[in-house]
Amino acid sequence: MTGGGVIYHADELTYALVCAPGQIPPAASVKDSFRVLTGFLLGFYCRLGLDPAYALDAAPAGTRLGERTHFCFAGRESFDILVGGSKIGGNAQRRMKGVIFQHGSIPLLNRALAGLSYMGERSPELVREVVSLAECGVADSREHLLAELATAFRESFNVELREDQLSARERELAEALQRDKYSGDLWNLEGVGE
């Protein structure tokens, strides 16, 4: 949906943000809005004792940033986050009709090689510089990680978070999508939905 590269979702925390451009701190460009909207991730990784940096600031000299790849973890954008020189997770953004949708992956375990097995190009070199929280020495419980992520988000954007539940209609729609679209081979193997 965002047009970013493919992410193999396994053993991770996943986030999604939906907002209007005016609801986030000022960003000079779409690229800069990635910096703004991923700032809480830097805070999150710092809270876990890691030393994160944007690829723009930490990539080795000569690294080509912004080169499109089909597999998210294989590419490096300016505001991808690196820990120890390796990319941790991935983020993608789409804008349409005054709405920003951004989502991303925070890998608990490194499953990039497994994900690569589903791609046309399967060279292990594509995921050589990818890292997970476990590989960084973080073995905290999922509950603790979620609490730290919420705290980092709250602090970064100076907002109050409220927990909410899906409405009956939202649950119905989710169940219908699961049953009629996402459980079928047509969607999962062909990328075609009804």
b/e 66-94 (16+ beta carbons within 10 angstroms → b): eeebebbbbbbbebbbbbeebbbbbbbbe
Structural domains in the chain?
A: 12-163 (3.30.930.10), 165-194 (no CATH)
Report the share of the chain in percent with pLDDT over 90.
Answer: 42
Residue 6 is classified by DSSP as B
pLDDT at 92 over 80: yes
Assess contact for 34 and 77: CB atoms under 8 A.
Answer: yes
Q: Which residue carries 């996943």 as its tokens? A: 14
- What is the full DSSP assignment across 30-94? HHHHHHHHHHHHHHHHHHTT--EEEHHHHSPTT---S---SBGGG---TT-EEETTEEESEEEEE
Q: What is the mean pLDDT of the chain?
A: 84
d(CA 140, CA 50): 13
pLDDT band at 170 (very low <50, low <70, confident <90, very high): very high
Neighbours of 168 (CB within 10 A): 8
Average pLDDT over residues 159-178: 94
Kind and range of the H or E element at 193? none
Query: How confident is the model at residue 69, as a pLDDT?
Result: 61
Given a cut of 60, whether residue 2 has pLDDT beyond it is no
Give which of 81, 30, 72 is closest to 53, Cα–Cα: 81
Strand-strand pairing, 52-54 and 81-83 = antiparallel
Q: Are residues 21 and 99 in contact, defined by beta-carbon separation less than 8 angstroms?
A: no
Q: Which is more confidently placed, 193 or 16?
A: 16
Please state the pTM of the whole predicted model: 0.83
pLDDT at residue 136 in the model: 95
Name residue 169's beta-bridge partners.
none
pLDDT at residue 127 in the model = 65
Q: Please tell me the predicted confidence (pLDDT) of residue 1.
A: 56
- What average pLDDT score do residues 154-179 get? 94
Decide: 145 and 49 in contact? Cβ < 8 Å.
no
User: How far from the centroid of its chain's Cα atoms is residue 110's Cα?
Assistant: 14
Whole-number pLDDT of residue 42:
96
Greater confidence, 192 or 194?
Answer: 192
Contact 115, 98 (CB under 8 A): no
